[in-house]
Every structure is written in C-alpha cells, then in structure tokens.
A and B are shown apart, each in its own frame.
Chain A
Amino acid sequence: MALLIMHSYNKSHSSPPRGGNPFQNLEKTSVLQEARTFNETPVNAKKCIHILTKILYLLNQGEVLGTREATECFFAMTKLFQSKDTVLRRMVYLGIKELSTIAEDVIIVTSSLTKDMTGREDFYRAPAIRALCSITDPTMLQAVERYMKQCIVDRNSAVSSAALVSSLHLSSQHGAGDVVKRWANEAQEALNSDNIMVQYHALGLLNHIRRNDRLAVGKLVTKLIGQNMKSPYAVCHLIRIGSKIIEEDYANGTNTISDTQFLEFVDSCLRHKSEMVIYEAAHAIVNLKRTSARELAPAVSILQLFCGSSKATLRFAAVRTMNKVAIMYPAAVAAFNMDLEGLIADSNRSVATLAITTLLKTGTESSVERLMKQIATFVAEISDEFKVVVVQAIRTLCTKFPRKHSILMNFLSAMLREEGGLDYKTSIVDTIITIIEENLDAKESGLSHLCEFIEDCEHTSLAVRILHLLGKEGPFSKHPSKYIRFVYNRVILENATVRAAAVSALAQFGASCPDLLQNVTVLLSRCQMDIDDEVRDRATYYLAILNSNNPSLCKNYISSNDQMVSLTLLEKTLKDHLHGPLNETFNLALVPKTAPTPAIAEETHNDPMITTNSVPKAPRVTREEVNVERLLQIPGIQRLGPLHKSSPAVQLTESETEYTVSVIKHCFPQHIVLQFDCVNTLSDQLLENVKVDLLLPEGYIIRHVIPCAKLVYGEKESTYVILEFPADVSSSSATFGATLKFVVKDCDPTTGLPDSEEGYDDEYMLEDFEITVADQIQKTKVNNFAVAWDAADTEEWVELEETYSLSAVNTLQEAVQTIIKFLNLGPANATEKVAEGTHTHTLLCSGVFRGGAEVLLRAKLVLADGVTMQLTVRSTDQDVAEIVSSAIG
C-alpha cells in the first residue's frame, strides 16, 4: 500500500513537496465530495487514484464514515471497475476492504471480483481474493466456493496464499466455518507446495479447520513430522500445534505415544538450520509444563547463545522467553545471570528492560536497589507495554522480598503519577492491591498512594475498583477517618458511576466503624440529593440499613460481599421466578456463583493461529452464561431451576466417521440435560428424527427426549435428553451406554434434496460416557481459605477425613492436577502450583455441589515412593461430602 501511495503521489505532483505531509489537512467532507469524480466517464485514473489515496489515508487515521457516506462512496467506487488502469484497480480493492464493514450492499462487487480473481491479469488475482473475502457473508459463500477452491490450489503462489489466508479469516466468521471445512482437500494439496509461504498458510488453514477435532490434528502433526517440511514458517507452526497438544494432554493427565513423538520432534528442531525454527523449539520446550530438567538444559543453552547474538531480534526473543519462565526455573536462569548483566545496558531499550526485570525476578534481595535504580534511568523512554513488564517484575519482587515493599511501593506510586494508558495504570493498581493483600505492613502506605491517585484519575474503572478496596480495607486500618475525605471528594467531583461507588464505600465505613457512623450518615443523606438515580438509590438503601441499628443487617447487606452470584444468571433466575407460580420464596442459594476468574494470567498462552495479533478482548462470559441462552429454547426448561454448570463437550465418536456426535452435560439442581451435538458428514444422506437412546444406570430416570427433526449434511444440530438424578446422591456418578437412532433418506449430494419420501430406520453405536462428580460441582474462589475453613467448623458442616495412597501418579504436581480435574474445584491461595523440589504440599480448594451444598477440600500430599494423601472434606451436606471424598479413591 505504501508503494501505491508513493506512486500516485509522484504522478500527481510534478514538484516534490516542500516538507511535511501532503495529506495533513485533509477534510472528510471535501474528500467525499471529490469522490463524486468516480462517477465521471471516461474515468480519469490518475485523479481517482489520488482521491482514493486520500480516502484510505483518512480511514487509516481513524476517521469514521457513517453508513450513508460509506455506501455512497462505495458505489461511486464501483464505477471504477470500468477503468483498465491496474494501479487504480488495486486501489479499488483496498477501498473495498476498508469500506466493506461500513457500507451497505457491498456484495454488489462479487461478480466483478470473481472475474478478476480468475482472470488473466496476475496483478489482480491475489488482491481480488482478499477483497472478495472481506465482502462475502456466509450466505454468499456457496456462490464463490468453487472459485475459492480453485484459487487455493492455483499454481501462482501469491494467489494460493491469498486464498488460504482469506479462507482462514472467513472461517472465523459466524456460520462460515462449515463451508470452509469443505475446502480441506484443497488445503491439503496446497500443503505440498514448494513455496514456503503457501505451505505455511496451508498448514494454518488445515489446523484451523480441524482445531476442534483433537485426533485429526494429532494425525496431521504426526504425518507432517515425518515429511521434513521445507518451509521454516510451517515448521514453526507445527511446533506450536504439537506443543498445544502436549500441553492439553498434560493438563488432562493423559500421556500418549504421539506426545513422546512430538517432543522428540521439537527437540530435533533445536538442531534445525533455520534460526527461527531453533528459537521456536527452544521457546516451546521452556514453556511446556511437562519439561524436565534434562530436556530444559539444551533449550536454555540455545537461548543463552542467542543472548549474545549480534541481531537485536534474537537477543530480544531470547531474553523475553527467559523473562517469562524465570519464576518457574530460577536455577536455570541463574546460570544466565552473567549474560543478562551484559544486556542491562543494551542499546535496545526493550532488551535492557527485559534483562533487568528477569534479574529482578531471580536475583537476591541485595540486588533489588541497584537494579531499580538502573530501571529508573530509562523508564520514561520505554513504551507502556514494557512498563507493564517492569510492573509485573515488581509484583513478584514484593511477594519474594516483603521487606522491600517501601522502595517498591514508592517506585510504583511514582509510576502511577506519570502519563500512561489504562492497561499500564491497571497493572500498577493491581500490583499495589496485591501487595496490600499480601503484606500487612504495606497496607497503610498502599492505601494512601491509591487515595492520592484517585484524586486525579481519568479512568472510571480504576477509580471504582480503588473505592471498593478502600471500603473493604479502610475501616480496618489504623485511622479510618482519614480515608473518608478522599472518598467523599469523589461524591462531589466525579461522574455518576464513580459517585455510586463512593457511596457504597462510605457505607462500609458506617457499618464497621461505630465512631464514624454519625459522620457517614450525614454524608449519605447529602448523597440523597444527587441528580443520578443509582447514587440516590444506593444512599437511601444504605441509610435505611445503617439507621436500623441492627448489626446483623449491616453485616449481611453491607460488609459481607463474598457471595458474588453471576449477575446474568441471577437476572434469568429472577425472571423465571416471576413467571412461575410464585408460591415459593426465591432461593438465592440456587443461583450459580460466578465462576472464579483465573488469577491474573501472566500472559495469554501462544495461540498458534495466524490471524491478527490484536485480538479484541472479548468480555468474559462463563460457559454457563452462554449456554443458558441456548437452553432457554427448550420448552419447559424453566421448571428445572437455574443452570448450575455446563461441562465441556466430550466426543462420542472417532474423528472422520460418518456421523460425529459430542455431548455437553448441563447440570441443574435435580436434573441433567444432555445436549448431543450431531454432524452428518455424508453428503448423500439426509437424517430425520435423530435422537440418542441411552442405556441408563440405576436410579436415573428419563424425563424428556427432544429429537432433532432434520440433520442436513454438514450442519451441526442438537438433540436433547433430560434426566432426573437418582434420589440417592451416591449413585449419581455413573456410566451411560448410547446409540444414535434416526431415519435415513438418500439424497442428491448437490442439492441436498431427498430422492424419495421413503426413508429407513438406522442406528449408530456411540461411545459410552460418564456423569461424574466434577459435572455436578461448580468451582468457587475463596479469597481467604483459612478463614472459610475455620468458619466451617460448626454444627451445620460435616467433615470427612481419609488417607489414600495415589499409585497412578508420580509427582506432587500431577497429584494436584488429578484432584482438581476429578472434582472440578477452584484452587485457593495459589495452592495449585507445587514448588520445585519439595516433598510435601497442601492443596486447598472449594466449590458448590448442585443444589447449593458448599464444599471445602484440603489435601495434604507427601511424596515418598508414590504419593500419599490425607484428604479432608468439609461440606454442608453429608451425602455430598461422601461422594466428593470417594471420587478420588
């Protein structure tokens, strides 16, 4: 694109510009006015190229076009297809791509683009494919399918690559995935290409198509490992796919022969002739959770070697990789220290930052001050992204050297005062909060720093979080009164969201500090005059409770907020309740708790996809929240009560069979809904009245079966079975036999229409599946496990204790993983990670059983010959305690 702009630029100006950007003062309306030139015949190519450049420039500067403006501009642009100027045509493709998401009726250029992508002009073909995919929606995909398949296997590598990458983009569009799947044969052919990019892109697409079919991906990798692929890019990608499988197997506690094969392959790549591949292999090895010290050593030596490279990219890659695993392998990184010290003053600031922060993570207490000083000299020069790296290092340091908190806290608060984006500020605040939570001595100073920060904080989300924290921690500090002023200032100065949060925080002080109650009541009554409804409502609500003089009301409705329920599900449950007979009181305990958000991930794990790297952050929704929407379509489902938990999908067929079926188990208080997702992979068959016949274990009762009326080739449809759990909780964990039953009608593969109305009954054996204890438990996250554990030492709780010897596992980490997996409990206090080289470990975790019984679990593990475990379960229900403790045995 830069080239094209240059080109048009030179053509349209005879003299060079006298400095500056010729597009600097462009104005949207006048440029759009100029775009009317596109309607003139004959087309003035030179002029139009220049105008298109301006439009693209504006769009790339973030200028926003309205639907009408964009549509008008788009249709004017379509007239330019009459010109035979090649540069103009390629600019038009770019224009189409930019406007495709804003303008209406963009499919109008479909035929024009398919003509170009299959035509004689090679210049047009690849960019036309990319433009075509940007305007194609799933309903139109059938029409271009033939061309796409042809282009994927085209001899011209640019065309083939463009088609492969575009298919990949298309397949992530909702509803297009199934069509793109049908192009797997072509992608397979492209995989044999001599061109390194085509090979890479073909692998990317194939893997993406099969990504939900683990067996198929495994087969693909095994096959390619033996083939010695020419493209280093493809080999790198293969390493990533292989690593992902190894990692998943490890997390599931399975270890297959192919894992060993993949590992050998990754290891052999350390001796590859391409640096890129060598790095990728080393990176994979140090990141794999199952890597042993013996496997680690050669990978670390490679990285060490790269640290001394003259290429900044290699130094950067190596030190960045070490930085991420420094905590896991302190000993391995320690061997690196000399090399890292050498990089502290690297002319590349990013390399220097990473080197210093790695040293910080692994170094001794005495080196902290020296290194922090070093960072301070250039922290202003590095980008936000690297500042975040620094902040993360500080966080680890604080945990490791609690005594250093004042130096570190000062450093953080200085950073907080500097300019910076939301992500950066969030990471600082997160860190300060972590420090406060972990280190009592740091609490007062941390809170003061945060108070100061919210006096001048432009980010609503951060202000709200800090206010919440002040409300939680402030009342129990040495001088609660000093925080009131900061909080009340927010009520006067900020927007409604922040004001509402401040009101809630004030109420906390009122509920927990009797001395301050009087003051707080006065302040809250002022808030009742607020112009915002929410602020007024909260003030009124809290005042009413505070004025009631009833400590238990205050405790339950102001101070304690551990019981966070999922708001989406709460809303749904309340709605259901209102639609119901209303002869029972609403039971809050039946609403699922929010699934614990995973501890702040250090870094999202490498997703081996080739799509863009700036994936927009999706809002976090739990599996249950997604499923509720779907399940609501089942008539009568409300009667089952709120959804407690949905399991991940379990395959009930091998891959590449005639029909593929997987099951998702949706657990309700007394029932379980089995959702069978079926795909018919035979293009010459239409299936009707598809359902799953179950071989029931004792105690289970079938309440309802919802067949799938029609299963067309290639489409995923669902059939459901609703079961009632056995009255006796202990028999709820059981195995089911399953058979798929249906009526087959032979049909014409091209039209999908049945040859005749007559069909015949047929059935297909599925694999057995289980309903486990884990299916019936929803994880919870307990912030302070010790407190919860002690509180569970009352009459209402049952405790069971037993000792087991775990013969099938060899390490403590494996034991921990097995327990968490079998019970689906949420670990607390980071006890899911076993420190390296220890022989004892205590795992603490918690969850809620269907129906609302809470479960707390403590597992004391000892590693001698094999692992011995003392398991203590506390639950509010005897049966639940029993089934949980027997699930492991």
Chain B
Amino acid sequence: MKKYLLSLFILFLFLGCNSDNDYDAQNGLISGGIKDDTALTTLYEKVYRTDANSSYEAIISLVESLKNLNQTQNQINLQEVQTKFKLFVLEQKKLEATFLADVLNDNFLDTLGYMEYFHSGKNSDLVSELNAIFRSQTNLAEALYKNSNKSITSLEYTLFGEDENISSLLNKMDERRSHAGLLMGEKIATYSKLIKDFYINDESFLNSMEVSTSELLNQLIDSSYKLKEWRIGEATGIVKKYEGIIDKKKLEYYKSNFSIDAIIMILQTHLRILQNGLKSIASSAGATTQADAIEQTLQTAITLCKSFHAPLEDSLNDTKVKDLYNIVNVLQQEYTALIASMNFTQKIIEADGD
C-alpha cells in the first residue's frame, strides 16, 4: 500500500508539473484565451499615442490661427481658422471614438464632456448664451465661465455661426468674438495636452490584456451605439423618440456641415483599431470570423459615407442615411457577437447527465 501511495504521489508531481503549460499564472485565472501580448502594445502606440499627439498638434495649430484672426479679423484668417478647426475636430473624433483615459484614470471622467457639448444639453441654449456674451460689454474671460461656453461646440458657433456664409460672419467677427474664439481654443488645448500627456506617460493600458481588451470593446460598442443613434438616428427621425421628425440641428456639426466627415473619421478609427491589434487579439481568442465581419461592415459603412454628394446636413431625406443607420446597427451587433465568441472559446456541450 505504501508503495502504491508513494508512486501515486510521484506521478502526481510529475504530471502536475508537466501539463502546466496550458495554465498561465497571470492570465490563467481569467478566461478568454487571449494570448497576443504584442497586439496591445502596437495598438496603444499606433492608435492611442499617435492620435493623442496629432490631436494636440492640430489644436496648437488652430490656436495659432486663432491668434492671427484675433489680430486681423479678416477673411483670409477666418477661412484659415475654419479649415484648421475642421482638421482639429476630425482628430478629436479619433480620440473620442476609443477614449479610455476616463476608464484608466478617474481624473478624466468629465474631460470629454467639458471639451465638447454634443448631446449633453440644448444646443439652442448654447447659441443664445454665446450671442449674449458676444453682445455684452463685461469682462470676456469672466463671461465665458461655463465649461460649455469654452467647448469645441462653442468654438464651432463662434467660427461658423449656424452655417452662415463668410461675409455675414465677417460682419459679426469683431474683436470680442475673435478674442472669445481664442480663449476657447486655448482652453480646449489645455484639455488636449492633459490627454496627450496622459497617453504618452501612462502605461496602465498595457498592464492587463484582459482588462484593456474588455474596456476597449465596451468603448467600441458604445461608440457604435452613439454613432447610430445620436449622429444619424435622431436628426433623421429614425429613432423612436423623434420618429418622423427631420431636424438637421440634431446633427453633431450642423453649424459647420462636418457631420459626415466626423462619422467617417469615427468609422476609420474603428477600422484602425481592428487592423492594428484588435483583430489579432480576437483571432487568438478564436473569434477570427467575427472580427472579419466587423472589418467588412466598417468598410461598407465608410464607402457608403463617402458616396454622399452633399453634406449630411443637406441629405437627411436620402435613403442612404437609413442604410447607414442600419449598417451601423449591424456593426453594433457584430461587436456583441465578438464579445460572446471571445467568451465562449470552445463549444462545450455538457451533454452528460448524472
């Protein structure tokens, strides 16, 4: 009997050590089967850090142009500022589409909300507030005390009015209004710098593959949902709440007509996330098919967006808008399918009784 137990014990030890290979002490406690560690580093480098940098560079360049406009209030500078604004906004959409700083650090919980005012209140209130500020004689910096009054949304109104033509805008672009634009730009730049510095210096995204991938996927789903409902559905009256009511003022950039470009940028960022790491992470967790489907859908959506001949603001009756809404809806479901497939790495039937 002793011999039995001894040999059993040795066998235990031997087998125990030997087949440890499918148990990884770090990730082994949490399933998912994600094994590609380099993917996360590539993703962080090529998407997060790159985008944070270019967004910051874009706002700095915009602020420089705002300084010029503040001195001249002339047409050339106004047009230059408008172009720079568009470039910055598109960079900002990249950051927003996959924003994780708020998950990684509580200090960033409200940052995006401070930077931009879309879907977080009544745009009409903002417009009348800004008009009052531009008209009044009080200290400008004090008048712009609200975060919303220093947001990208406010800057857009300052620079574009509500889709006004350039000569009408030039008439309104007095010293006070151009100075307000500069103050807004500078405030936005401080947030942009905080975000950039965070992504450059913070490595917590790379700490846990499992946690970061989950947060990233949740962000992508959230981004698809908001794209579908807020950026397409509400203005076109597709969503239940505004059924049948077409209202271009519900679009994100109805003042500057950039809404479709913003949508394209968001979709392209999803695609870059996929191609720079997520696809490989998904494949290592056995969900290649689902990741491929997402890639395909993103490409279809981008092609459709690019086929619009007029700005989205002027195409709300086009049937293509409804098509776009439906495609993004599919995208959202495909992200859910990806999550489910990464969770069920193998088909277990548990078919045996007791």
Do A and B form a real pair?
Answer: no
Residues on A close to B: CB < 8 A? none
